[in-house]
Structure 1
Amino acid sequence: MNALLLSAWCSHLRILQILVNSGAKIHCKNKDSLTLLHCAAQKGHVPVLAFITEDLEDVALDHADKLGRTAFHWAAEHGQLDSLDFLVGSGCDHSVKDKEGNTALHPAARWGHLAVLQRLMDVRLDLEERNVEGVTALHAAAEGIHPDCVQLLLGAGSSANALTQVAGPPHDWCVPSAAET
């Protein structure tokens, strides 16, 4: 990562401004195609996001990394509600899917980010949206062992009987919780 990406990652707004004013290339990416927006969104740095989107020119709000994930996906995956709200308010595409067919609902549910999951439901993402393996957000929450997310999704109308397209879980998929051992 270069100094500009690191400053966005670490929420060093003043350093970011100095680098931009000194001619740093604002459309830089790391080896995984993460941009300034990706770095700031996943770390929850709203002032940095505001600077990037409001003060820099031609920054693509919905730029995808190598996996097809946008800053919106990264904010959801890392439970960054403030970043998510900022991106929604900035007009990002809520329904974009990554290369595996995941919307932002999938990683939020998989990692148990209840408040983020609720917000994604508030912006009307389709609860029954399936990725390439037929996995819905409910499947992801169940796989991640997040009962609060499972309850939220079921209460919002997710189908408890939806089937994936995968024949069966991987051998290490179901690990018992401490309460079950």
Structure 2
Amino acid sequence: MSCGEGGKHEPLEDSRMDSGIDSYRSMYKSEEPREVSSDFSPGPRDKFVSAEERLDSAYESSSITVDSLGDCVKSCNLDPEGPQEEENPLTSITEDGDTILHLAIIHEDEPFAQQLIDFFPKEVLDIQNNLYQSPLHLAVYLDQADVVRSLVERGASLQLQDRDGNTALHVACQHGQTQCVSHMTQDWSSNKLAPVLQTHNWRGLACLHLAALYGQHEVLKLLRKKGAEMNVQDGTSGKTPLHLAVELHDIALVKMLLSWGVNVDASMFNGCTPLHLAVGRQDAAIANLLCQSGADKMLRNMEDETPLDLADGNDDILALFPFDDIQISGRSVVGVNY
């Protein structure tokens, strides 16, 4: 499809060619920071393992609820050699799939959560509830940075994905939780961090895409310091963070990315470069920035359009393109003898 905002052309057969930022926004219009509560409803189970296949088979369904956490805490015995109740809340799971650690985090009882983190083995720390949220997911949603740090230090997995395909790092990047991001990436070598940064959620977005979409500049700076690949493409249309910054008219982010030396001519799956998108959206300021950074003005997308073809009579944008050169097959020929 055209890279312009007006959508003058019919879309290509492959739905991945969508170049509109609105599709991303609509995907995530309900993804404002969620208030985690006991009303979480179970998500679709078709692609997930059942409750019986949990990591720790000692865990059983129970009648405990988030509202009864206080009573559970009183009855908990954190001494593994001490007397055990017949129904031990430490090894019980609610009908929503939450362990007592999930509930402690949801209830924002951080001291109790910290005790549980120290007490439980790693396998229990990675148990996911019916929404496939691990305790780490919930701690990030609720911005409990100290709990996040403790979970990471105890070896909680950063690669677990919730029912939307988001890792805990995806969530932190989207909501700009820089402390949580810092804790989750603090001691990682670049080769260990890379698989998580390259993970796409079910919408095809990596952590850097979410940070760019939601204008989380500080998060992007943190990830760059960790060696993140700043030209990573999304899985649906092939956009890089620079494409997204251009579509959002986020000139500050465009400047920042260009200063880091990102690929100014990166192509989407439909061949559109950031300059195609800037011109198609009639953004002369960003188009000028891209041209100053060496963007190729003559690259063609899959509809055989150069950025100039999308200028639509905008004088500010047309001024960026020379008209005194002879062009043969769309390429400027300089120094021709007449």
With structure 1 as the length reference, what TM-score do the two structures score?
Answer: 0.75
Structure 1: which amino acid aligns with 2:159? H
Matched, 1:63 2:195: no
Q: 1:9–1:137: structure 2 CA closer, same or farther, 3 Å change rule?
A: farther
Structure 1: which amino acid aligns with 2:179? P
How far, CA to CA, are the matches of 1:129 and 1:27 in structure 2?
28
Residue pairs, 1:8-87, within 5 angstroms: 8-17=140-149, 25-54=157-186, 60-65=195-200, 66-87=202-223
Matched, 1:150 2:287: yes
Tell me which moved more, 73-82 or 83-92.
Answer: 73-82
How far does the alpha carbon of each residue in 1:111-162 deviate from its partner, in whole angstroms, 9 at most, with x for none? Answer: 1221221121122112111111011112223344544322321222223443
What is the percentage of aligned positions where both structures have the same residue?
24
Structure 1: which amino acid aligns with 2:245? A
How far, CA to CA, are the matches of 1:104 and 1:42 in structure 2?
13
Q: 1:54–1:145: structure 2 CA closer, same or farther, 3 Å change rule?
A: same
Is the CA contact (8 Å cut-off) linking 1:134 and 1:165 kept in structure 2?
yes
How far, CA to CA, are the matches of 1:142 and 1:10 in structure 2?
40
Matched, 1:114 2:251: yes
Structure 1: which amino acid aligns with 2:143? S
Is the CA contact (8 Å cut-off) linking 2:152 and 2:184 kept in structure 1?
no
How far, CA to CA, are the matches of 2:156 and 2:263 in structure 1?
39
Aligned to 1:174: none
- Please state which structure has a larger fraction of its residues in helix: 1
How far does the alpha carbon of each residue in 1:80-108 deviate from its partner, in whole angstroms, 9 at most, with x for none? Answer: 11111100001112232222322221111
How far, CA to CA, are the matches of 1:31 and 1:167 in structure 2?
39
Q: 1:144–1:77: structure 2 CA closer, same or farther, 3 Å change rule?
A: farther
Q: Which runs of 5+ in 2 are unaligned?
A: 1-130, 306-338
How far, CA to CA, are the matches of 1:115 and 1:10 in structure 2?
28
Q: 1:12–1:56: structure 2 CA closer, same or farther, 3 Å change rule?
A: farther
TM-fit CA distance, 1:27: 3.0
Structure 1: which amino acid aligns with 2:225? G
How far, CA to CA, are the matches of 2:161 and 2:282 in structure 1?
34
Structure 1: which amino acid aligns with 2:216? Q
TM-fit CA distance, 1:53: 0.9
Is the CA contact (8 Å cut-off) linking 1:117 and 1:149 kept in structure 2?
yes
Q: 1:144–1:75: structure 2 CA closer, same or farther, 3 Å change rule?
A: farther
For residue 300 of structure 2, the aligned residue among 158, 163, 172 is: 163
Please provide the CA RMSD for this pair: 2.9
Q: Which runs of 5+ in 1 are unaligned?
A: 169-181
How far does the alpha carbon of each residue in 1:55-101 deviate from its partner, in whole angstroms, 9 at most, with x for none? Answer: 68965442321344321222222221111110000111223222232
Aligned to 2:79: none
How far, CA to CA, are the matches of 2:247 and 2:222 in structure 1?
22
How far, CA to CA, are the matches of 1:23 and 1:157 in structure 2?
44
Aligned to 1:101: 238
How far does the alpha carbon of each residue in 1:15-46 deviate from its partner, in whole angstroms, 9 at most, with x for none? Answer: 43466689865432122321111111122221
How far, CA to CA, are the matches of 1:112 and 1:33 in structure 2?
27
Tell me which moved more, 137-146 or 101-110.
Answer: 137-146
Count of matched residue pairs = 168
Q: 1:130–1:21: structure 2 CA closer, same or farther, 3 Å change rule?
A: closer
